[in-house]
Amino acid sequence: QVQLVESGGGLVQAGGSLRLSCAPSKNIFTFTAMGWYRQAPGKQRDVVAAFTSGGSTNYADSVKGRFTISRDSAKNTVYLQMNSLKPEDTAVYYCKATYWDADYWGQGTQVTVSS
């Protein structure tokens, strides 16, 4: 069973930066899509940034210009560089990878931004 392993979350002050990473426990698949989602307390889980199967990127309007998604295709690793963090960015961030029709999720990593 392939699992996604996330790291990089933590507590930062507003205006600070964090970089999240996500990699599979076994590098068996070449994922067709990878991305990051987040879920704030009491809210739905929504996409933050993602690579589509065609290689283009999508960003939530709330993070455009502040967050950057990148990947190492050989390692099937995806990163999320988060700059100029705001308290409203506080959430559990989840990595998601897609292999054809199957979705794989990480366990989530907490990001807390204080004012």
| pLDDT tens readout for residues 40-95 | 999 999 999 999 888 899 999 999 999 999 999 888 899 999 999 999 999 999 99
pLDDT at 111: 98
What's the whole-number mean pLDDT along residues 24-42?
Answer: 90
Share of the chain above pLDDT 90, in %: 78
Q: Record the tokens describing residue 34, joined without a space.
A: 């990878």
Which of these, 43, 95, 89, lies nearest to 63 by C-alpha position?
Answer: 89
pLDDT at 115: 93
